[in-house]
Chains A and B, each alone.
Chain A
Amino acid sequence: MGFSPIGEYRPGTSVLHRLPVGTKLLGLVVLSILAVAFRGVPTTSALLGLAVIGCVVGGVPVRRAARSLRGMLVAMVFLAAYQTWQRGPERAYVVVGALVALLLLATVFTTTTQVERMIDAITRWLEPFRRFGVRPELVALAFSLMIRGIPLTLEIAAETRDAARARGLDRNPRAYLTPLVIRVVAHARATGDALHARGIGDD
């Protein structure tokens, strides 16, 4: 069974659930900029603190928070090792800590925000661009398909890897990557057919 590395919506009544989508997204963008613009131990520590508070307030279960980090674990370990080697442990903490904090904050956002609300918000924001040929509903739908596509692609990847293993081909990248790409593209085409059949994109 697949899972989404950025978490999925969990119903709730917390203040984070009630905040408008735009406010939460803007907050996430501002914190990301702060993490880069004011790089240092105090900023990273503050971001980590905020992320933990966000997880608690938004009701993000520990397992889900850990799962959101698991996908980046290898990259983070390498990054931490490289930074420690090149610039010392303090720098490693600043860089990797900020990355962990932002991943957790993104998980808080997706856990407390219904995709339908995101679609409504994106549609509203893009409305002024309709005169330039932009179709806000389609952009918003593409966004939701991307979110839905993450766990699906991981599910297909797991099945394809198992199939390669079952044939004793687990060390052959072609036996894994070729069917993975074919299945993802086939799924994309099937999804296109399904959207067409549901009349989405007709208007």
Chain B
Amino acid sequence: MSRIEFDGVVVRAVTPGGPVPEITVVQETTLDLTEQRIALIGPNGSGKSTLARLVNGLVEPTTGQVLVEGLDVAKKGREVRRRVGFVFTDPTAQLVMPTVIEDIALSLRHQVRGREERAAAARNVLASYGLEELAERSVHTLSGGQRQLLAIAGVLATDPAVLVADEPTTLLDLRNSRKIGDLLLGLSQQLVLATHDLDLALRCDRALLVDQGAVVADGSPAEVVAHYRRTAG
């Protein structure tokens, strides 16, 4: 299992024109994440997404460091991103090629050099997620659930060691939300899941409650979710 370490991480953001020149998005945080499925829960704007983005290098700490398998995300971003996949809330931005198979093939460009071999590999990836029928479809004609499933397939095609998912079920209906949730929780990869779905969080191995940029509760999902329900007002 991979290991993700936050060592005295602080994230500050400049707020031009705001009442204060700078705000603290993540307060000093030290974490050692070794469990397979880790849930990040908390209210909107609490800093869950920023914590998730730190793991992949989409956000860099103002001070402190984030290590993935011992690699400093700020210094070894390229190597880290090969190990850490990221799934966004809205898959529309994540799907950058016109058709389903081309988007999967884009993910495989580094692993499979030949075009024909890459197309075959992409079809295999699609088949393993039940998406083979959609191979030639334009990505903008897919439903929300299909888009999110494709986005996940595109990320997992590169076989990352860690998958970070930032509220991946927020835009989905109940059926698709369950389907994506089951898929993510059944992965062999280490999963960092920022979510508002407390049922999903309860099925993880560890949960962190984030509020106002700080981890205010950390432990078993049952305890942390219960704490969140008590304190959410």
Interface residues of A (CB under 8 A from B): 1-2, 4, 8-11, 114-117, 120, 141, 144-145, 147-148, 151-152, 155, 187, 190-191, 193-200, 202-203
Contact = CB atoms under 8 A, between A and B. Distances in A.
Interface stretch (B39-47, B63-71, B98-106, B168-176): B98-106
A123 to B, nearest CB: 10
B18 to A, nearest CB: 18
A199 B102 contact: no
Contact of A194 (B82, B88, B102): B88
Contacts of A202: 77-78, 81
A198 B141 contact: no
Majority SS at the chain A contact face: helix
A190 B115 CA distance: 28
Main secondary structure of the interface of B (DSSP, over half): helix
A197 B56 contact: yes
22 contacts: A1-B140, A9-B99, A9-B136, A10-B136, A115-B98, A116-B105, A116-B119, A144-B102, A148-B97, A148-B98, A148-B139, A194-B96, A196-B57, A196-B81, A197-B56, A197-B58, A197-B88, A198-B81, A198-B86, A198-B155, A199-B78, A199-B110
Contacts of A197: 56, 58, 81, 85-86, 88, 94
Most B-side CB within 10 Å, residue of A145, A193, A195: A193
B98 A147 contact: yes
A115 B99 contact: yes
B34 interface: no
Given A2-B140, A203-B78, A194 B97 contact: no
Interface in B73-89: 77-78, 81-82, 85-86, 88
Interface of B: 56-58, 77-78, 81-82, 85-86, 88, 90, 92-99, 102, 105-107, 110, 115, 119, 136, 138-141, 154-155
A194 B164 CA distance: 12
A116 B102 contact: yes
B3 to A, nearest CB: 20
Contacts of B92: 152, 187
Contacts of A196: 57-58, 81
Nearest to A200: B106
A114 B116 CA distance: 13
Nearest to B118: A116
A10 B140 CA distance: 15
Given A1-B141, A116-B119, A144-B97, 17 more contacts: A2-B140, A4-B98, A115-B99, A116-B102, A144-B98, A148-B98, A148-B139, A151-B140, A152-B92, A187-B92, A190-B93, A194-B93, A197-B56, A197-B85, A198-B106, A198-B154, A199-B81
